[in-house]
Amino acid sequence: MAATPALQGVSEASIAELAGRGIVHHYRRGTYVCHQGDPADEIFFLVAGRIEISSDSTTGTRVYHAAVDTPQFIGELGVLGEIPRTATLLALAESSVWTAPGEAFLELITAEPHAARAMLRALARGFADRQSFVEDLLFLDLKARVAKRLIQMLTPDLDVLPGDGAVVPDVTQADLASMCGGSRENVTRILKEFERRGLVKRDGHRYVLKKVANLAKIAEL
């Protein structure tokens, strides 16, 4: 926990106290950590494994957000806002998740200015990401959005592009379509076009970006 940005600068004693108030649960692949709409009375920390974050839209359509596989806090938004879970967490692999009362996490945030600032930064970045997604829907066509999402899955900073040959994390075409705000059929067609043009290469369930600069141009970066 001490190595995560969320607790950077927080005293070891405070982190040890928080860790001691929780326990580690083990989840098999395909089992749920929580569901959207559940009470958010616990905080989660991914110790090991891979967790998918998704939600359901007002129309009932599943919306894929991300898959995390590095140790980090997850599910903190409901705890911080004292609202029901805003997303569903699903184990994509054998996973270990530390769980503690949400109140314990709130007490740490209240007592430690460094932790409070880190949470504010995380919330601000989340808001900026959502605003950017809305702008993409308004001003970019689907092909540009697909190119942009492929790059974004490799770098959080679009000013620093990955090199040619970078491998995109495992994601289904349906999930990529959800991330781009398009249908699976149209996204599949665009990916095949990128393959024909030599911009990407399919490698099993993953995509390799062969010409990042060309994809960036399509994405209007």
140-218 fold: Arc Repressor Mutant, subunit A (1.10.10)
CATH class of 5-134: mainly beta
pLDDT digits (tens, 9 = 90+) for 202-212: 988 789 999 99
Q: Which residue ranges make up each domain of the chain?
A: 5-134, 140-218
What is the pTM assigned to this prediction?
0.75
Residues in the chain, pLDDT under 70: none
pLDDT digits (tens, 9 = 90+) for 130-180: 788 888 888 999 999 999 999 998 887 788 899 999 999 888 888 888 888
Task: Report the 3 state secondary structure along the chain.
Answer: CCCCHHHCCCCHHHHHHHHHCCEEEEECCCCEEECCCCCCCEEEEEEECCEEEEEECCCCCEEEEEEECCCEEECHHHHHHCCCCCCEEEECCCEEEEEEEHHHHHHHHHHCHHHHHHHHHHHHHHHHHHHHHHHHHHHCCHHHHHHHHHHHCCCCCCCCCCCCCEECCCCCHHHHHHHHCCCHHHHHHHHHHHHHCCCEEEECCEEEECCHHHHHHHCCC
